[in-house]
Amino acid sequence: MTVRLDLPPEREAAWKALAQAHGLSLEQWFLHLADQYSPGLPSPPAVDDQDQRPIWEVISENMKNVPPEDLALLPKDGASQIDHYLYGHPKRDQ
């Protein structure tokens, strides 16, 4: 069976990051979540090929193909204003 989800890019990116933080692909992460809400069904086999690299190496690899012009579009205050960019909260005074 194939299930297709049309996700906004920011939600897809956030879920991919969350899945990777748990050493899973996005598909594996959704299966894990589905298993939590469907007790009694058999679980898929465990994944043994989890990425054991430090997170900074994973991020570095994921970022290596991002064009410089796209990186230039990222906000300079992204870390200090994370709640604004992720959740739409008003920007904090600096």
Taking a C-beta distance cutoff of 8 angstroms, is the pair 92, 81 a contact? Answer: yes
Q: Which residues contact 44 (CB under 8 A, 6 or more apart)?
A: 31, 35
The reported pTM is 0.39
6-52 tens-digit pLDDT = 888 888 888 889 888 888 888 888 888 888 777 777 666 665 566 78
Residue 51 to residue 62: CA distance in whole angstroms: 13
Question: DSSP per residue over 22-88, as a string?
Answer: TT--HHHHHHHHHHHTSTTSPPPPPP-----S-HHHHHHHHHTTS-HHHHTTS-TTTTTTHHHHHH-
Give domain limits for the chain: 9-87
65-91 tens-digit pLDDT = 999 999 999 899 988 999 998 999 999
